[in-house]
Amino acid sequence: MKLEAIVISVNYGDFLSNTLPYNKHLFDKIVVVTDTTDEHTKKICEFWNVQCVQTDDFYLDDPKIANKSRGINVGLQHLSKDGWIVQLDADIWLPTLTREILEKYPLDNKSIYGIDRLMCNSYNDWYNFLHRNPKPIHEGWIYLHTDIFHIGTRIVQYHSDGYMPIGFFQLWNPKGSGVYNYPTEKSGYDRTDVVHLKQWKREHRKFIPDLLCVHLASEDHKMGQNWFGRNTQSFGPNPEKISILKKIDNFYRMVIFLLKEKYVFKELMEKIKVQFSLIFK
């Protein structure tokens, strides 16, 4: 099985430094993509001898809001695309048995796959998981421990489109599916992954129950909290908070983007509520 990965890490070097050392050995090749100002991510990649591609293609559609899909496509140009590809977020940690499990799993090369995630919402919890009270996710060849952290929400349109393997982990085979690039018509960090997965019909969007990942967060997770710029504090033993001015700038960018995208009013208000609460946290 040939397995390659692409990771987008714009201003996520603090998370990447905690995930890349564990994830890199699971893949035949892993490419990290960030913008041209992100020196932290670049240094992390240099330290772990992982290819880092810096590009400003993120901002071709909007100079203030990164289009994640354009960064993914830049990264895809550096992969062979003749096997399986994982589109993986920088704050995702994969268990050590990930590759072995995927190699034994009956994958259909015409389908796209997703997995569940365990939500780790602080650096202290992460440190305890690894060092003070380590507990394997897979144990004894039959146990999958789902109680280490709480399981994140699974996206399922149960009245229509069914299961959606969203962008923190998307596994697909370009040759088998005919999908070689990410669609770029949606900007930001949300929705691009949904547009991508909908290139597969419902029967070809599949869930792998044998595998769990850990989703790292520096504070309690809220849906969409970093979709329009980093609002959460840094991930580490001495976290730095994002300034109020930066949060206000992210809020402004988010409102302009949502109005441009013509969100329905209820959805627009929900997203504004989340972002506004982050400013005064």
Enumerate residues 6+ apart whose C-beta is below 8 A from 166: 114, 155, 193, 194, 197
Residue with tokens 């890349």: 20
Separation CA 163–CA 173 (nearest Å): 18
Note the pTM of the prediction, 2 decimals.
0.84
pLDDT range class, residue 239, cuts 50, 70, 90? low
Q: 45: which 2 tokens?
A: 């990649």
pLDDT digits (tens, 9 = 90+) for 113-147: 999 999 999 999 999 999 998 989 999 999 999 99
Q: What is the pLDDT of residue 241?
A: 57
The pair phi, psi for residue 250, each rounded to 5°, is: -65, -40
**pLDDT at position 222 over 90:** no
Q: 19: which 2 tokens?
A: 């995930």
Separation CA 56–CA 43 (nearest Å): 18
Q: Are residues 14 and 235 in contact, defined by beta-carbon separation less than 8 angstroms?
A: yes
pLDDT range class, residue 234, cuts 50, 70, 90? confident
Separation CA 181–CA 174 (nearest Å): 8
Neighbouring CB atoms inside 10 A of 26's CB total 19
The pair phi, psi for residue 81, each rounded to 5°, is: 60, 25
Q: What is the pLDDT of residue 115?
A: 98
In DSSP notation, 147-166 reads -SSEEPPP-EETTTTEE---
Q: 143: which 2 tokens?
A: 């146990």
pLDDT digits (tens, 9 = 90+) for 178-205: 999 999 876 555 578 999 999 999 999 9
pLDDT digits (tens, 9 = 90+) for 2-60: 999 999 999 999 999 999 999 999 999 999 999 999 999 999 999 999 999 999 999 99
DSSP-assigned letter for residue 129: I
